Chain A
Amino acid sequence: MSMPTELKYTKSHEWVSVDGDIATIGITDHAQEELGDVAMVLFPEVGRVLQVEEKFGEIESIKAVSDLYAPVSGTVIAVNEALTNAPELVNDDAYGEGWMVRISMTNLGELDSLLTADQYAEIE
């Protein structure tokens, strides 16, 4: 199972890529594998303010539905519209083209409570 070491992870199987105060968020390779063929992603609206661990969307495969939780607090500045017509990108490239939202973070300290790749590997 792929688990890039430069990313941060949550227990609810999201990954976070940090660039300054911008966090890009998706679900892990393990999560997409468990879900199976992703059929739909429901996004938050751009501009929505999220609190850490708040539900921000849903991801649904042919067999199951799963909630998406914000790993950090902040404002949604972009969603991956490509997934509307090609949700399978989540399966094909979970850490790349399968990204879901970008958040402008309001509390960088929250990053310290996220998991490293090694820690995530243990709970997975």
Chain B
Amino acid sequence: MKQTSLHAAHKAAGATMVDFAGWDMPVSYGGTVGEIAAVRGGAGLFDVSHMGEARVRGAGALAFVQRVTANNASKLVPGAAQYSLLLNPEGGIIDDIIVYCISAGDEYMIVLNAGCKDKDWAWLVEQSAGDEAVTLTDESDDTALIAVQGPTAVALVAGLVGADVADTERFHFVSVTWNGIPCVFSRTGYTGEDGFEIFCPWADAPQVWDMLTVAGAAPAGLGARDVLRLEAAYPLYGHELNDTWKPWESGVGWAVKTKKGDFIGRAAVVEAKPTISSKLVGLTLTERGIPRENCVVFATDGVRPLGIITSGTMSPTVKAGIAMAHLNKEDAEIGTSVLVDIRGRKVAAQVTALPFYRNGV
């Protein structure tokens, strides 16, 4: 199994490790609920070095990014970042990504999900074939990524690195040399809290991690991360997103800009959009129960199926079972009562507005 450069630090901190997309990653450091509380009440620290980074350079960089992604990268100025999608020609989602503008027109960095990285990279290489105006570099093996997230995360970074770094706006980033380590501080995250994602060289990650833990950031594992992202209603590839559902079925249609010009998947999504009959919604259980992925959602008659749950958990923040679900559009009005089949027990739930929780982001 692959290991990040923080593997020894996780083991030393007593983490329980699991296989995540071929990486040996910390699922918790002793208590998922406590780690969630640390992120919601202070500052939590996540190793997300397993994510992929692809750099796009050259005179044709913007044209390439515009062609392979669905959002409008021409809006990006240097230092700005954007949530976007890689679509296949059928309009399904290959991956959800963040595009960073290093130099407008000729240099971008694309951050890829760990579980999708290999197919994403192969796809990008295939799409750039014959394009001499573009150079692609896979920087995943050289780039570590550490997220510090929570209501005190920005102040913590300000205290360590400087107020000017902490002033970076949401979905913007800044390059800083911190204690001799070249870092990029990006005001982004996947928890519903403010904070930073910090890119640094692979070998320097343990030092960055140590400086953040000494300052009070509490390590949090993938177990906490999954609950936090679900509370914040961020989609996860393989759950809310897949290569068949169109972006509007996955709650990410807002990231598709069909007026920007042509891009891969555009024709398919333009054609499909008027006929899309399902959407992604939130469900909050009104009885005791924990909804899980693939649980079937029924109308209150208990007979008519409305769709399936894509992700579910017990939310310590909401203090109820919560889920994201892929439901028939006409049955997906906020406030609609439904039943969720949890291992044969039909549990009452209500369609609720997403997100379940975000703190100012």
Contacts and interface: CB of A to CB of B under 8 A. Distances in A.
B33 A37 contact: yes
Interface string A26-70: 000000000011011010000000000000001010110100000
Interface residues of A, number: 12
B343 A36 contact: no
A88 B33 contact: yes
Contacts of B31: 36-37
Interface string B163-181: 0000000000000000000
B290 A40 contact: yes
Contacts of A58: 343
Contacts of B288: 40, 42, 84
Given A40-B289, A60-B314, A63-B32, 11 more contacts: A36-B28, A36-B31, A37-B31, A37-B32, A39-B314, A42-B288, A62-B33, A62-B223, A62-B313, A65-B292, A84-B288
B290 A39 contact: yes
Interface string B23-47: 0000110011100000000000000
Interface string A74-108: 00000000001000100000000000000000000
B227 interface: yes
Contacts of B33: 37, 62, 88
B32 A65 contact: no
Nearest to A34: B16
Contacts of A40: 288-290, 314
Nearest to B28: A36
Given A62-B33, A62-B313, A65-B343, A36 B289 contact: no
Interface of B: 27-28, 31-33, 223, 227, 288-290, 292, 313-314, 343
Nearest to A39: B314
Contacts of B314: 39-40, 60, 62
Contacts of A39: 290, 314
Contacts of B227: 62
A62 B343 contact: no
A56 B31 CA distance: 27
B314 to A, nearest CB: 4
B290 A60 contact: yes
B223 A63 contact: yes
Contacts of B292: 65
Which among A37, A62, A65, A84 has the highest number of chain B CB atoms within 10 Å?
A: A62
Nearest to B314: A39
Closest 3 CB pairs of A and B: A39-B314, A37-B33, A60-B290
A28 to B, nearest CB: 18
Contacts of A65: 290, 292, 343
Which among A37, A40, A58, A84 has the highest number of chain B CB atoms within 10 Å?
A: A37
5 contacts: A39-B290, A40-B314, A62-B313, A63-B32, A88-B33
A72 to B, nearest CB: 25
A112 B289 CA distance: 36
Contacts of B313: 62
B97 to A, nearest CB: 27
